[in-house]
Amino acid sequence: SLEDLKVSSMTSWIDWSHAEEDHGPLLPHLTRFELHNCPLLEKVPNLSSVSSLSELNISACGNFVKALPQYVGLLACLKKLRISYCDHPLLFSGHQLNSLDYLYLRKCGSLRLIDGLQCFPNLRDIDVLGCPGILTEFPDQSVRQDEQDLLHLSSIVTDVSLLHKNSFVPSVCALCIVYLEALHFTPEQEEWFGQLISVEKIEFAYCYFLQRLPSTLNRLTSLKVLIIRETKPLSLEGVVPQNLQELIMDGFIMEDNFKPGGSDWLNISHVPYIRLNGKTVQNLSINAASSSSNHQI
């Protein structure tokens, strides 16, 4: 009757394949399974029959992750999937994960989503860092456009991993860009931002070297909140859209540039609510969303 199982730091564990032979069908009612830091694990049982599993969280788990694509029944019922620190080449399709609503990937350099994001019919939130080649396997563009109506993705957290021409995500409402190491965005990445026609909130955080935000932000008429945290662009000229309601900037050293009379003030003065390094600089709206201090990654 076990429903929730977590296994962690069994660093000498090699063989788990005998479990079904000794005890019959493995964990038939399991709904949540975590496996962390079992780097020598080579042989694992067949988990295809675990059709009750809704949440799987695995990291640094030897060969266990290599067997995942063959567990068709297990993948089809998953709602939340987390994979971290996986070096094995893996190919996944949204058609395999048709119940998935949350996908979290960290440092999975050889993992590929072979159909992009548009084939996940129920995916709502995706959090992907350190997976630079995740979208390099992709069919022709006509398939992408035909199946785009299936996409319900509304929230993205990523570095450069999903800033790719094969990631067409006009349904996204909330976007967080973190830990970029580049000085500026490429023309292709600038166009990626330009197709976010539904986005209401964008945050740039811990992009320590970034000198300029995408100029295509200024055409995002739906954007209401822009947060720049521990990221220090040299100027916001030509970046801030006219409809923006709230601008939050934290970690700025040259803050006088963004205050009334400063060199960048004319570029942001149309925004009703502005907060700089924790202090309100402008509040032209009674209903200004001053609760933005709660906006965190």
Structure token pair of residue 119: 């084939």
pLDDT, tens digit (0-9, with 9 covering 90-100), for 242-292: 999 999 999 998 889 999 999 999 999 999 999 999 999 999 975 544 444
Percent of the chain with pLDDT over 90: 65
207 with 80, same domain: the answer is: no
For the cut 90, the answer to whether the pLDDT of residue 167 exceeds it is no
The CATH number of residue 159's host domain is 3.80.10
Task: Tell me if 10 is assigned to some domain.
Answer: yes
Least confident of 10-24, 107-121, 133-147: 133-147
Q: What are phi and psi of 32, to 5 degrees?
A: -140, 125
For the cut 70, the answer to whether the pLDDT of residue 190 exceeds it is yes
By CB atoms closer than 10 A (0-12, 13-18, 19+), residue 278 is exposed
Q: What is the pLDDT of residue 273?
A: 97
287 with 171, same domain: the answer is: yes
Task: Tell me if 180 is assigned to some domain.
Answer: yes
Question: Would you say 79 and 101 are in contact if contact means Cβ atoms under 8 Å apart?
Answer: yes
Q: What is the pLDDT of residue 137?
A: 66
Comparison of pLDDT for 110 and 145, the residue scoring more:
110
For the cut 90, the answer to whether the pLDDT of residue 108 exceeds it is yes
Task: Tell me if 144 is assigned to some domain.
Answer: no
33 with 128, same domain: the answer is: yes
127 with 181, same domain: the answer is: no
Task: Tell me if 141 is assigned to some domain.
Answer: no
Q: State the pLDDT confidence band at 24, using cuts at 50, 70 and 90.
A: low
For the cut 60, the answer to whether the pLDDT of residue 142 exceeds it is no
DSSP for 111-128 reads EEETT-STT-TT--EEEE
For the cut 50, the answer to whether the pLDDT of residue 209 exceeds it is yes
> Residue 207 is part of which domain span?
149-291
Q: What is the pLDDT of residue 143?
A: 45
250 with 278, same domain: the answer is: yes
Q: Per the structure, how many domains does the chain have?
A: 2
Question: Would you say 90 and 108 are in contact if contact means Cβ atoms under 8 Å apart?
Answer: yes
CA distances from 209 to 84, 134, 204, 256 (A): 26, 24, 12, 20
Find the mean pLDDT for residues 100-117: 93
CA distances from 99 to 72, 82, 115, 166 (A): 12, 14, 16, 22
Structure token pair of residue 241: 């859209």
Task: Tell me if 42 is assigned to some domain.
Answer: yes
For the cut 80, the answer to whether the pLDDT of residue 36 exceeds it is yes
Comparison of pLDDT for 140 and 284, the residue scoring more:
284
Of 135, 158, 180, the last residue of a domain is 135
Task: Tell me if 61 is assigned to some domain.
Answer: yes
Task: Tell me if 198 is assigned to some domain.
Answer: yes
Task: Tell me if 201 is assigned to some domain.
Answer: yes
Least confident of 76-85, 178-187, 285-294: 285-294
Q: What is the pLDDT of residue 138?
A: 60
